[in-house]
């Protein structure tokens, strides 16, 4: 990454470099879980860094409850500077892309309904897949957020996605089960631009 890009970096991701990453409750504390790398989808195991303490790194975890964190050792991951970030407004049904803290583009999206709302908070992009179900468009990012209403959905754990759709008339409305839908052209654009670990803030 260039010096200019590093100067604009606002966040850091951590990507696993070992077959499994041990997650600790606190630096030097007990192991709470081991996470496989790569993930089941084949995507590299990636975290968003929350803090650093010597050889320990606090990371956001893609699990329930939303906002979960843990600690990993610095020698189990490699760090990357991030210049892009995303912000979703569920009230306006928009997604805003920022680069180096500067807003560069806003997209219309569909978000959750009143009965199945899109969860709010600070999250990140965990994986990128090309769905076999046309309903999700050509690309789908996994998000570290999980539905606070649905414990399962479509055979999965109720994880929120940022994906395309075969119903582009729904864009701009509150109609999903909690996922964030974009037009297929827009999700394709973002899939070619955003690295895993990119921060995603969801608010009203």
Query: What pLDDT does 3 receive?
Result: 42
Find the mean pLDDT for residues 115-133: 97
CATH 2.40.440.10 in the chain, residue ranges: 84-203
CA distance 67 to 50: 11
Residue 1 predicted with pLDDT over 50: no
Residue 5 predicted with pLDDT over 80: no
CA distance 143 to 192: 17
Query: What pLDDT does 2 receive?
Result: 39
CA distance 136 to 156: 14
**How buried is residue 65: exposed, middle or buried, by Cβ count under 10 Å (0-12/13-18/19+)?**
exposed
- Chain position carrying tokens 């007990």: 30
Query: What pLDDT does 4 receive?
Result: 43
Q: For residue 149, say if its preceding peptide bond is cis, omega within 30 degrees of 0.
A: no
Write out the H or E segment, with its range, that includes residue 180: strand 180-181
CATH 2.30.30.40 in the chain, residue ranges: 3-82
What are the pLDDT digits (tens) for 9-35? Answer: 789 999 999 999 999 999 999 999 999
Cβ atoms of 100 and 165 within 8 Å: the answer is: no
Spatial neighbors of 194 by CB under 8 A, at least 6 apart, are 84, 86, 125, 141
Q: Name the residues annotated as catalytic.
A: 163, 179
More reliable by pLDDT, 6 or 136:
136
pTM of the model: 0.94
Please give the DSSP secondary-structure letter assigned to residue 157: -
Confidence band of 134 (pLDDT split at 50, 70, 90): confident
Superfamily designation of domain 84-203:
L,D-transpeptidase catalytic domain-like (2.40.440.10)
Judged by DSSP in three states, 169 sits in helix
Q: State how far Cα 190 lies from the chain centre.
A: 13
Superfamily designation of domain 3-82:
SH3 Domains (2.30.30.40)
């Amino acid at each position: 990454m260039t010096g200019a890009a590093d100067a604009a970096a606002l966040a850091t991701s951590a990507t696993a470099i070992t077959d499994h990453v041990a997650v600790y409750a606190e630096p030097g504390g007990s192991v709470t879980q081991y996470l496989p790398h790569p993930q089941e989808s084949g995507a590299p195991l990636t975290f968003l860094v929350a803090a650093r303490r010597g050889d320990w790194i606090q990371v956001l975890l893609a699990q329930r409850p939303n906002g979960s964190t843990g600690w990993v050792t610095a020698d189990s991951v490699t760090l990357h500077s991030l210049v892009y970030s995303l912000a979703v407004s569920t009230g306006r049904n928009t997604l805003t892309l920022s680069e180096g803290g500067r807003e560069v583009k806003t997209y219309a999206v569909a978000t959750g309904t009143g009965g199945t709302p899109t969860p709010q908070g600070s999250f990140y992009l965990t994986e990128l897949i090309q769905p076999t179900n046309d309903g999700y468009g050509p690309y789908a990012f996994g998000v570290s957020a999980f539905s606070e209403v649905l414990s399962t959905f479509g055979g999965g754990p109720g994880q929120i996605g940022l994906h395309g759709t075969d119903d582009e008339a729904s864009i701009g409305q509150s109609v999903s089960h909690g996922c964030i839908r974009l037009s297929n052209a827009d999700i394709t654009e973002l899939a070619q631009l955003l690295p895993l670990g990119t921060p995603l803030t969801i608010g009203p």
